[in-house]
Amino acid sequence: MTFVKHAASERAASWEAAGLEWLRAAGGTSVVEVTSVESNSLVLQQLSSTSPSTAAAEDFGRSLAATHSAGASAYGVGPDGWQGDGYQGPADDLLPLPLRPYDSWGAMYADLRVVPLLERATALRSEAEQLLRRLRGGDFDGSCAAPARLHGDLWSGNVVWTADGAALIDPAAHGGHPESDLAALALFGAPHLERIVASYEEVAPLGDGWRERVPLMQLHLVLLHAVLFGGGYVEQTRRILHRYR
């Protein structure tokens, strides 16, 4: 069975399809199947959801580590063969997701994930300067050995739990820091999160101090929410910026 998902444009539909296929090619976590892309619509496999078991969560942790380990050619790049920027945010209010290759995770995170959103959240720009200097100076680069193949928007709503285990949907796929996907799962809460992380570490141990970096890894998505929705996300962003000054 299939269902049709309408995108904001033909390019946005192609972007989502490219991300799903790139993640599928990693051979790790299950990914919703793209049957076809027709103009501004995707024809996707119909997924039937169920409650996740502890065993399914552990399988997900291990398979997500395998997806990440498939890697990317550089930090900040999109799926193989994709040209130009991608998209981020809800389908009815998409923003550009800047994409270009970097050797440094911190510089990429500053230039492509944080600064473009700060240009839309000008009240926070001055408070971000110290963290931006740290990112560009490589202070956090040692926590990541190589670019991971990220889902890029891995909040719990983009993981569908089926009878066969977890399946990924709605990516903003790019090369980045593996802790970013795990931090996204924690942002709004994921079932059996501690088991997911523990099983992930069975395959790919996280770097020292990873728990202290969780808010930093969440900054991109929190700032995106601040731009799109305002409210408490603005203050949450401010707290993260001050934490890493």
Q: Give tens-digit pLDDT for 3-39.
A: 899 999 999 999 999 999 999 999 999 999 999 998 8
Among 31, 61, 65, which Cα is nearest to 162's? Answer: 31
- Per residue in 114-145, pLDDT (tens digit) is 999 999 999 999 999 999 999 999 999 999 99
- Per residue in 166-181, pLDDT (tens digit) is 999 999 999 999 999 9
CATH level 3 topology of 55-157+175-243: Aminoglycoside 3'-phosphotransferase; Chain: A, domain 2 (3.90.1200)
Q: Most distant CA pair in the chain: distance in Å?
A: 51
Q: CA angle 128-176-232, nearest 5°? A: 40
Overall pTM > 0.85: yes
Tokens matching residue 11? 């390019």
pLDDT at residue number 176: 98
Q: Where are the beta strands (DSSP E) in 100-187?
A: 148-150, 159-162, 165-168, 174-176
At 36 the three-state DSSP class reads: strand
Parse the chain into domains and list their residue ranges.
55-157+175-243
pLDDT at residue number 99: 98
pLDDT at residue number 39: 87
Q: What are the phi and psi torsion angles at 72 (to 5°)?
A: -145, 160
Strands 34-38 and 174-176 come out as unpaired
Work out the pLDDT band at 42, boundaries 50, 70, 90. Answer: confident
* Residue in 111, 153, 170, 181 annotated catalytic: 153
Q: CA angle 91-97-103, nearest 5°? A: 155
How many whole angstroms separate alpha carbon 36 and alpha carbon 12? 14
Q: How far does CA 8 lie from the centroid of its chain?
A: 20
Distances (CA, A) of 48 to 5, 74, 185: 16, 35, 21
- Yes or no: say if 114 and 97 are a contact pair by the CB < 8 Å rule: no
How many whole angstroms separate alpha carbon 217 and alpha carbon 221? 8
Q: Reply yes or no on whether 153 is catalytic.
A: yes
Among 79, 2, 92, 81, which Cα is nearest to 38's? Answer: 2
- Residues in the chain, overall count: 245
CB atoms within 10 A of CB 155: 19
At 7 the three-state DSSP class reads: coil
